[in-house]
Homo-oligomer: A and B are copies of this chain.
Amino acid sequence: MKVAITSGKAEGPSKLNAFDNALLDAGIGDVNLIKVSSILPAGSQFVELPELTAGDMINCVLAHAASDKKGDVITAVIAVATSDDFGCVVEHSAVNEDPEEVKKYAVFMAEQMMEIRKMKINKIIVEEKSHVVENEGSVIASIVYLG
């Protein structure tokens, strides 16, 4: 399975549009996302996010934070722990927490997922996006399963 990891942030004239704009910023705004939980199939290969065909049905794990309060710091994180076998995916988000701490906590949770499975971690890939809200802000981070 090819997979890509991406993130985006945006403002918008409504909550829905800010979210849509953040998806566009991440390069996944023109597809139909289907949310799944949280395993990276064995043999997955990380690639650059390709141009996706508009309207395709795409499985993904999606982290999302939103706020309409000026000055709020919103953060979305995907953490992926890989092994020689399959891997584990964490989606995590926060409002007004230190983005570095949000990232650390996502990594901690991915490590815990691997530990409980007694799996040796090869590496941990983290994708994080933060944004200081102006009017109506949205951040997303996602791992996209390209099939």
Contacts and interface: CB of A to CB of B under 8 A. Distances in A.
B39 A54 contact: yes
B38 A32 contact: yes
A40 B42 CA distance: 30
Given A16-B92, A85-B54, A112-B17, A36 B39 contact: no
Q: Is chain A's binding surface mostly helix, strand, loop or mixed?
A: mixed
Nearest to A31: B39
A37 interface: yes
Number of copies: 3
Nearest to A20: B113
Interface string A89-120: 01010000000000001001100110011000
16 contacts: A14-B105, A14-B112, A16-B109, A20-B88, A20-B112, A20-B113, A21-B116, A29-B117, A30-B117, A32-B37, A32-B39, A32-B41, A35-B35, A36-B57, A44-B55, A57-B145
Q: Return the 5 tightest CB-CB contacts between A and B, nearest first.
A: A41-B55, A32-B36, A54-B86, A33-B37, A39-B55
